[in-house]
Structure 1
Amino acid sequence: MKLKYWLMLAFLTVMLLPVVAGWALFSLYNYYNDQRAVTEYVELSGRMAPIEQTLSDPGLYRLQSPDAFAALSELENGRVNFDLYLPSGIRVYTSGGDTWSAGAYTVGGAELYRDLYNIQIRHRTFSLKKPVWEKGELVGIYEIVMLREDWLEGISLRTTWVVIPAAAFFILLYGTVLWLLSRKLFRPMKHLMGRMDAFAQGEEAAEELPVRHDEMGTLLQQFDAMQEKIRQTQADVEREQKEKELMIASLSHDLKTPLMSISAYTEVLNGDRQLERLERQEYQDVLFGNVERMKQMISELEMYTALGSSESEMSMVEVEGEEFFDMLLGSYEGLAERGQIDVKMDVRTDQLYQIHPEQLMRLTDNLINNALRHTRTSGVMGLGVIASDRELPEWIIPSLGAELDNYRAGATLIIVQNEGPAIPEEQLIRIFEPYVQHQNEVEKAYAGGSGLGLSIAKRVAIKHGGDMRMWSYEGYGTLAACRLPEHRHFKIREDE
């Protein structure tokens, strides 16, 4: 139940329950009083009979001397009182009072004749009024008032029985409200405060989040989601900071060598020693080569940074896959032949793609140049673009068929495979990180290059809505695969 509805229902219940309980207690008290009154009336009727018989004497209802009422003094006691009235309302006698002063008291007619013959049950007394007749003429009215002794004696006990249930009801209601508030509000707030304290101290919350389906449960879940997002953001910021520090350190290290070379050759060229024309040209070529190398490093760093920015956008164009990739991959056949490498190329696609041609050429160039550096002499390098509805080429590493089929689901694969030494697992899992390069275990040397080529290639793939992975197996070589989303079919295949 939603918290607001629960609170509305709880407030209504807290307001109504005391009213219902009070009404029930009052009804029970009245029922008991009525039952007790009937019992007392039966008991007191026998005690009233002789008094009524004496008070029914018509001779008592006239103004006369106190001696005439001497017989009534025997009926008087602390539990019974009676008054005698004339029809005019003059009281002629009152028990326990001065007879001469009784006549000074007069009762109005309406009050005197009210409730004749009806027993009036009050909290402390029973009262009864009856007329007295003589020869068919009303001569007087008597009123008997009897004390409810048994009822009065039980007042303290009944008060105890009323107070105890009322107190128990109040305690139960108060305890129930506190328990429900604790369950609905206080306990979830305690969970939230504990999580906030733990988050402020950089610790994980020790207690597991309870399953709730109200606003407090939503608040707890949103707080956990918020702190998880903050932690992820902090981790990303720390990772990016370390990455920047690594990039700066690596770039500084890589720039030292060409700078030292430039400095040395410049010093020689500006020195006093006479240089031959060919020697001077050789030194100048070295200088220009180092400058171009530094410019390439800086250019790749700028490209890597731009591709990693969330604000950078690439202008995509639609291309026909078979034509574009035939042209793209065909340009590398001559380069491979000069390195005495056998190239196997397969372009199997009839799809249209939304791509940035220049960036996709950079991706392919980085993958192929990396593969060329690691392919052994007279080895085989495979280049392929395989759509999701086409079979994989035969030259791929045999054990990767099923995994590649799962990886390329709904997308086209750009595959670059080389025959060379396998990349160790600990290096392979970090191969797409900036300035992480494969170290040759035999020569104890790195592959060369700026260290950003594969990182740039993966970022280009991500910018195209795809992804990139790499597999490496001893005895087979290394396979890099880029997933490229398919836009739509260009034409219907002839075999369909």
Structure 2
Amino acid sequence: MKLKYWLMLAFLIVMLLPVVAGLSLFSLYSYYNDQRSLTEYVKLSGEMAPIEQALSDPDLYRLQPSDAYTELSALAGDQVSFELYLPTGIKVYSSGGGAWSAGLYTVSGPELYRDLYDLQIRHRTFSLKKPVWQKGELIGIYEIVMLRGEWLEGISLRTSWVIGSAAAFFILLYGTVISLLSRKLFRPMKQLMQRMDDFAKGKPAEVEVPVRHDEMGRLIGQFDNMQKKITRTQVQVEREQQEKELMVVSLSHDLKTPLMSISAYAEALSSDSRLDAAEREEYRKVLSGKVEQMKQMIGELEMYTALGSGGLELELLEVEGEEFFDMLLGSYVGLPEQKQIAVKSVVRTDHMYKVHPEQLTRLTDNLIGNAVRYTRAGGVMGLAVIASDQELPEWIHLLWGPELNDYRAGGTLILVQNEGPAIPAGQLERIFEPYVQLQNHGDQSYAGSYGLGLSIAKRIAVRHGGDLRMWSLEGYGTLAACRLPET
């Protein structure tokens, strides 16, 4: 249940429960009072009978001296009193004595005749009022009042019981509300504060929070998601920082060699007068080549940085797949032939694609350049573009087929396969990290000439909404697969 609805219901229950408890207690008290009154009435009826018989004497209902009521005085006591009235309302006798006994007190007619024959049960007394008849004529009325002694004796006990019950009820209600609030609100807030404190101190969360479906549960879940996102961001920032540091070190190392060559050849050109014109021209060509090499290294670094920073916006153009990829793969036909490498090329797609032609060409250049570099002379290299609804080329290894089918779900694959040395399975993911120099058996780096080619290719694939993976098998070669979304 949502917390706000739970709180609204809890407040309603807290307001209604005292009312219900009060009504229940009042009903219970009334029931007990009725039952006790009935018991007392049955007991006192026997005591009233002789008094009623004595008070039914017609001779008592006339004005006369108090000595005529001497025998009645013996019937009265601490628990019983009675009064006698004439039909006109004049009180002729009161067991309590006093000024009223001489006929000086008169009761009005409505008051005198009210509640005749009805036993009146009051908090402290029972009272019964009856008329006295003689030869069909009303000659008087008597009223007997009996004190409820046993009832009055238990008042303090019942009062204590009622107060104790009310106090116990409110304590129970208060404890229940506090317990529920603690379970629904206070405890989750404390757990959330503890998790926030642990996160601020860089410690893992020590408190395991059960799954909740209310607002506090969602709040804790959102905090956990935020914490995970911040943690991932921190890990990514640290990894990127490490990459930057590695790139700086690697770039410094890679630039050192051409700079030393440039410095040596420049010094020779400027100071060695024994060099003839041909040697000087050769030195100038070497210097020019080293400068171009440095420009290429810096250009790749700039491209890698731009693709990762988001500052480079790729304007994707919609192209017809078969025509575009036929032209793209056709431009590489002559390159493998220079090393006497046989090429198997196939394009199977009729989909439309949104691509950046220049960047996708750069991606393909890097993949095919690596494949040519590591394919042995006289070997075979495979190039293919296969849509999601087309069969894979027959030259794809059977072990890779199921994984490729799962990988290309809903997308088109650009496949580049070579017959070079296998990449160890543990290094297939690291091959896309910048300047990671993983060495093969021939002491050549898999990462390319400058260590950024595959990293750039990976980022280009991701910028197109796709991905780039590699499979490698000893004795068979390596397969690079770039997945592009279809439109």
TM-score by length of 2: 0.91
Q: Distance in 1 between matches of 2:163 and 2:260?
A: 100
Structure 1 residue aligned with 2:466: 466
Q: What percentage of aligned pairs have identical amino acids?
A: 73
Q: Distance in 2 between matches of 1:398 and 1:77?
A: 118
Q: Distance in 2 between matches of 1:314 and 1:444?
A: 33
Structure 2 residue aligned with 1:381: 381
Q: Distance in 2 between matches of 1:446 and 1:9?
A: 68
User: Counterpart amino acid of 1:366?
Assistant: N
The alignment status of 1:84 with 2:80, answered yes or no, reads: no
Structure 1 residue aligned with 2:39: 39
The Cα of 1:457 is off from its aligned counterpart by: 0.8
Q: Distance in 2 between matches of 1:19 and 1:342?
A: 94
Q: Distance in 2 between matches of 1:427 and 1:469?
A: 12
Output one character per residue of 1:137-160: Cα deviation in whole Å (capped at 9) or x when no partner. Answer: 555433221111232233344445
Q: Distance in 1 between matches of 2:163 and 2:39?
A: 25
Q: How well do the aligned residues superpose, as a CA RMSD in angstroms?
A: 2.7
Secondary structure of the structure 2 residue equivalent to 1:33:
helix
The alignment status of 1:307 with 2:330, answered yes or no, reads: no
Is the alpha carbon distance of 1:71 and 1:319 closer, same or farther for their aligned partners in structure 2, counting shifts above 3 Å? closer
User: Counterpart amino acid of 2:251?
Assistant: L
- What does 1:390-429 align with in structure 2 at a 5 Å threshold? 390-429=390-429
Q: Distance in 2 between matches of 1:11 and 1:226?
A: 33
Structure 2 residue aligned with 1:286: 286
Structure 1 residue aligned with 2:5: 5
Structure 1 residue aligned with 2:328: 328
Is the alpha carbon distance of 1:215 and 1:102 closer, same or farther for their aligned partners in structure 2, counting shifts above 3 Å? farther
Contact 2:84–2:94 at 8 Å: present in 1 too? yes
Is the alpha carbon distance of 1:320 and 1:378 closer, same or farther for their aligned partners in structure 2, counting shifts above 3 Å? same
Q: Distance in 1 between matches of 2:399 and 2:42?
A: 107
Secondary structure of the structure 1 residue equivalent to 2:93:
strand
Q: Distance in 1 between matches of 2:196 and 2:128?
A: 76
User: Counterpart amino acid of 2:178?
Assistant: L
Q: Distance in 2 between matches of 1:445 and 1:38?
A: 108
Q: Distance in 2 between matches of 1:113 and 1:391?
A: 113
Q: Distance in 2 between matches of 1:360 and 1:92?
A: 127
Contact 2:436–2:447 at 8 Å: present in 1 too? no
TM-score by length of 1: 0.89
Contact 2:370–2:448 at 8 Å: present in 1 too? no
Is the alpha carbon distance of 1:101 and 1:392 closer, same or farther for their aligned partners in structure 2, counting shifts above 3 Å? closer
Structure 2 residue aligned with 1:222: 222
Q: Distance in 2 between matches of 1:94 and 1:453?
A: 124
Contact 1:90–1:103 at 8 Å: present in 2 too? yes
Stretch of structure 1 that moved more, 346-355 or 462-471: 346-355
Structure 2 residue aligned with 1:182: 182
Secondary structure of the structure 2 residue equivalent to 1:77:
coil
Secondary structure of the structure 2 residue equivalent to 1:270:
helix
Contact 2:366–2:454 at 8 Å: present in 1 too? yes
Contact 2:66–2:101 at 8 Å: present in 1 too? no
The Cα of 1:375 is off from its aligned counterpart by: 1.9
Structure 2 residue aligned with 1:350: 350
User: Counterpart amino acid of 2:434?
Assistant: P
Secondary structure of the structure 1 residue equivalent to 2:48:
helix
Contact 1:261–1:290 at 8 Å: present in 2 too? yes
User: Counterpart amino acid of 2:449?
Assistant: G
Structure 1 alignment gaps of length 5 or more: 488-496
The Cα of 1:363 is off from its aligned counterpart by: 0.7
Q: Distance in 1 between matches of 2:80 and 2:401?
A: 115
Contact 1:116–1:130 at 8 Å: present in 2 too? yes
The Cα of 1:62 is off from its aligned counterpart by: 4.5
- What does 1:12-23 align with in structure 2 at a 5 Å threshold? 12-23=12-23
- What does 1:268-287 align with in structure 2 at a 5 Å threshold? 268-271=268-271, 273-287=273-287
Structure 2 residue aligned with 1:54: 54
The alignment status of 1:435 with 2:435, answered yes or no, reads: yes
Contact 1:126–1:148 at 8 Å: present in 2 too? yes
Q: Distance in 2 between matches of 1:370 and 1:148?
A: 113
User: Counterpart amino acid of 1:470?
Assistant: M
Q: Distance in 2 between matches of 1:328 and 1:18?
A: 84
Is the alpha carbon distance of 1:314 and 1:40 closer, same or farther for their aligned partners in structure 2, counting shifts above 3 Å? same
Structure 2 alignment gaps of length 5 or more: none
Stretch of structure 1 that moved more, 473-482 or 310-319: 310-319
Contact 1:93–1:99 at 8 Å: present in 2 too? no
Output one character per residue of 1:54-90: Cα deviation in whole Å (capped at 9) or x when no partner. Answer: 3334444444443333222222311111223344444
Is the alpha carbon distance of 1:123 and 1:139 closer, same or farther for their aligned partners in structure 2, counting shifts above 3 Å? same
User: Counterpart amino acid of 1:417?
Assistant: Q
Structure 1 residue aligned with 2:122: 122
- What does 1:189-208 align with in structure 2 at a 5 Å threshold? 189-208=189-208
User: Counterpart amino acid of 1:457?
Assistant: A
User: Counterpart amino acid of 1:294?
Assistant: M
Q: Distance in 1 between matches of 2:330 and 2:56?
A: 140
Is the alpha carbon distance of 1:447 and 1:67 closer, same or farther for their aligned partners in structure 2, counting shifts above 3 Å? closer
User: Counterpart amino acid of 1:307?
Assistant: L
Q: Distance in 1 between matches of 2:351 and 2:137?
A: 127
User: Counterpart amino acid of 1:356?
Assistant: H
Q: Distance in 2 between matches of 1:348 and 1:132?
A: 124
Output one character per residue of 1:362-421: Cα deviation in whole Å (capped at 9) or x when no partner. Answer: 111111111222222332222222233333333333432232232223322211122222
Q: Distance in 2 between matches of 1:322 and 1:99?
A: 129
